[in-house]
Amino acid sequence: MDLARTEVTARTRGAAARLGLLAVPVAFFAVFFAYPVAAIVARGLKADGAWHPGRIVEVLAQSDVRHVLWFTTWQALVSTVLTLLLALPGAYVFARLSFPGKQVLRAVVTVPFVLPTVVVGTAFLALVGRGGLLDELWGVRLDTTVWAILLAHVFFNYAVVVRTVGGLWAQLDPRQEEAARMLGASRAKAWRQVTLPALTPAVAAAALMVFLFTFTSFGVVQILGGPTFSTLEVEIYRQTSEIFDLSTAAVLTLIQFLAVAAILALHAWTVRRRETALRLVDPSVTARRPRGAGQWALLGGVLVTVLLLLLLPLAVLVQRSLDAPGLGYYRALTREDGGVFLVPPIEAVGNSLSYAVAATLIAVLVGGLAAVALTRRDAGRFVRGFDALLMLPLGVSAVTVGFGFLIALDEPPLDLRSSWILVPLAQALVGVPFVVRTMLPVLRAVDTRLREAAAVLGASPWRVWREVDLPLVRRALLIAAGFAFAVSLGEFGATVFIARPDNPTLPVAVARLLGRPGDLNYGQAMALSTILMVVCAVALLVLERLRTDRTGEF
């Protein structure tokens, strides 16, 4: 009886501790996400101190706004379809085939995903823009066309499909499909009736993630779309910073928020199906060397796709940064220009690194506490709801968040407009979801009986975490920190509003250089983008070295 009472007491203490852990993440998101977004939206929907809900109908009635909504939706759908068509063969190759250099190629494929969108846009500008490789060879320019945007989106999201679908495909037992073949089914029929139903949740989850990223695309469209094409995110930026029409920007923010909320709800449903519907095996036993001409041809096709779609834009970016003799563009980064930069552009490297380190510490603290609190699957409705809310910063307009920081955090005790911490706080909002999604599967895999046994023996919740959970999730924690660092390093939408002129980050510096005419500015943008690409690639290689199959794919 005493033992049962002790177990109940231990579980009650554990539940109370988990709710206590949520206090910091809840406060963080309330103050630095919900409050700034609500403040900017409320200001936009008010006029003369009174609410004007009819403004929503007025904005939606504008033909240019309807055009933006239509373009945002259909380009996201087409980008998603193209990404699936090109990346699903790659998912099969990485899941089922074993070949030399596979781990290195896996890291190469993932590099575009962690690159800032500004770098992606710059790389494709060097490939398809004025004076780009295609322009020099054949006189073909694709910038300011929808094709440049679509290809850049496929470039950016290729790894999402390869990692999400390929990670599950590698764990599916191939003997199930082999059994269907032995019973007389053709290879195509066995795949269609056995493997495809098992993969459907992963494919749906990957498709929804790609759609989310392309629906909220900003940096790529801003650089490649020119004045012709505008997504909701780009239009929010234009209405806020160029036209100063907060009312229209607020309505567009609400529309994007509702759309993203629906996408995330559908994404959460598919992920739950994926987690509970399958019996998986060790992925190390499912990959084999290619057999037959078909598999060798498929491997060759995937390698060509990776070369042309992923490596070529990055190679052209590097080549353009070296066009000036004697590393002229890189040396120019060390000089003050007396223009939009109050400091030499090269100082953006140090600024970005210091901001990213601070943002990583914040993201790991907030995301780690949230992941620990969300560990139990039988958590209450509030906890499950907060789990979904943690993903909203990935979809809500970063432009709105950044401008909201300037509007809302301007009075004591939260007058942070002149503080350096403002940039890391905005970057950490994007990093927290990656920390949670990386750590949560590993924490849930820890045998709860270990925690309960330690609690029954009198260990405090902190000691249980330190001596039971931490040794098992240390590697996942390092990977989460690496992802938070990479995404913080490349954050652009919010940082462009709050980075001070004397402390620009790398993405902001690249965008400013691209916005100025002249070959020198263009070359410096290429050089800075190359530096940023190298830093992100190094961080990714470290992640790949730490990655284990148990820690998840993202």
C-alpha span between 217 and 323 (Å, rounded): 30
C-alpha span between 524 and 303 (Å, rounded): 31
Mean pLDDT of all residues in the chain? 78
C-alpha span between 240 and 247 (Å, rounded): 9
pLDDT in tens, 91-116: 888 888 888 888 778 878 877 877 77
Residue 26 has pLDDT above 60, yes or no: yes
pLDDT in tens, 401-425: 888 888 888 777 777 877 888 899 9
Tell which wins on pLDDT, 385 or 44: 44
pLDDT given at position 94: 86
pLDDT given at position 358: 94
Number of neighbouring beta carbons within 10 Å of residue 403: 28
C-alpha span between 51 and 32 (Å, rounded): 24
pLDDT in tens, 129-185: 777 777 777 777 777 788 889 999 999 899 888 877 877 777 776 666 667 667 666
C-alpha span between 200 and 218 (Å, rounded): 29
pLDDT given at position 552: 43
Number of neighbouring beta carbons within 10 Å of residue 181: 14
pLDDT given at position 335: 80
- Name 276's Cβ contacts closer than 8 Å, sequence gap at least 6: none
pLDDT band at 219 (very low <50, low <70, confident <90, very high): confident
Percent of the chain predicted with pLDDT > 90:
10
* DSSP label of 218: -
pLDDT band at 3 (very low <50, low <70, confident <90, very high): very low
pLDDT in tens, 251-266: 888 888 888 878 777 7
Tell which wins on pLDDT, 533 or 274: 533
Provide the phi-psi class of 459: left if phi over 0, else alpha when psi is between -120 and 50, else beta.
beta
What are the angstrom distances between the C-alpha of 404 and each of 58, 205, 392?
A: 23, 31, 15
pLDDT given at position 106: 80
pLDDT given at position 199: 76
pLDDT given at position 303: 92
Q: Which of 496, 549, 3, 517 is nearest to 283 (CA)?
A: 549
Phi, psi of 470 (to 5 degrees): -55, -45
Q: Which of 44-48, 57-61, 357-361 has the lowest mean pLDDT?
A: 44-48
- Mean pLDDT, range 529-541, rounded to an integer: 80
Q: Which of 125, 54, 94 is nearest to 283 (CA)?
A: 94
pLDDT given at position 10: 45
Tokens of 544: 């790949």
Residue 194 has pLDDT above 80, yes or no: no
pLDDT given at position 548: 45
Q: For residue 50, give the H/E element and its range.
A: strand 50-51
Q: Which of 103-107, 284-288, 387-391 has the lowest mean pLDDT?
A: 284-288
Residue 449 has pLDDT above 70, yes or no: no
Residue 431 has pLDDT above 90, yes or no: no
**Which of 279-283, 342-346, 382-386 is predicted most confidently?**
342-346
- Mean pLDDT, range 432-453, rounded to an integer: 72
Q: Is the dihedral of CA 77, 150, 494, 237 positive or negative?
A: negative
pLDDT in tens, 292-318: 788 889 889 999 999 998 899 889 889
Question: What is the per-residue DSSP string for 366-406?
Answer: HHHHHHHHT--TT--HHHHHHHHHTTGGGTS-HHHHHHHHH
Q: Report the largest interatomic distance among the alpha carbons of the chain, rounded to a whole angstrom.
A: 84
Alpha helix (H) residue ranges in 139-231 = 146-169, 174-182, 187-190, 196-215, 219-224
